[in-house]
Amino acid sequence: MERFTDRRVLITGAGSGIGRATVHRVLAEGGLVVGVDINEAGLAETAKQAADQGVGERLSATRIDVGDENSVRQGVALAVENLGGLDVLVNAAGILRSAHTHEMALADWNRIITTNLTGTFLMIREALPALLATAHGVIVNFASTSTFFAHPYMSAYAASKGGIMSMTHALAAEYAKQGLRVVAVAPGSISSDMTDGRGPGLPADADFSLFGKLIPAIGQGFAAPETVAGVVAMLASDDGAFITGTEIRIDGGTHM
């Protein structure tokens, strides 16, 4: 199955986790990919894995700090130039931090909002001209199950992801007549660098009884990042051609 043959795809967060898994999935389906991340070592590992799989010639890696306007402007321009245009933007980059809200420093709040929400906006703004130049542009944003359901100690993260979901709906309406689709995925209970171990740095005195509703209903614990990458690939391909302005939860029935 090669749903991305002749499709040019820009993927953020490509240095680890779901972003890396999405890079590999799109490459496996024939796509031409630019993977970006602030983590250059992670990007190098993603590129090495692609080379080992025999698809490295279709992947370029570029450092972008999604929270920095100049970095995004320059990086997206370079990516579009290298790809010769752009068909799909996947905004997988993000950070997760936890704290008692009454103890959260403003700098920590701002870092989460800047990376997750503002970073998604900046990537979209800079990529829009190239995406609109095609007849089938797609943006896949990353929200979270924390948008719908209580995730203790994660108020800043939830706020950033709620903003992304609302922005997804607004963009879908604004650009639908120009052929652009905008959708979101809302992962939960997915194993990644953000969630493994103590993951988001839960407070030392965190009340784990508050997490009783955050256990997947199916499977054996958290799912692999590839679980999300498969859904992203469907949404970004022609299989998702009649899907826009909405989101898909990927959480193993955690919040049924």
Catalytic residue positions, numbered: 157
End-to-end CA distance of the chain: 32
Nearest to 186 by CA among 166, 170, 201: 166
Q: What one-character DSSP code corresponds to residue 133?
A: T
| The two structure tokens encoding residue 77 | 């321009």
Q: In 10 A of CB 83, how many CB atoms?
A: 18
Number of Cβ atoms within 10 Å of the Cβ of 167: 19
Among 192, 211, 201, CA closest to 157: 201
User: Which residue spans within the chain are E strands per DSSP?
Assistant: 8-12, 32-37, 59-63, 88-91, 138-142, 181-187, 247-250
Please report, as a single letter, which amino acid is at residue 230. G
Q: In what order do the strands lie in the sheet with 32-37?
A: 59-63, 32-37, 8-12, 88-91, 138-142, 181-187, 247-250
**What one-character-per-residue DSSP string does 39-96 give?**
-HHHHHHHHHHHHHTT-GGGEEEEE--TT-HHHHHHHHHHHHHHHTS-SEEEE-----
Phi, psi (rounded to 5 degrees) for 35: -100, 130
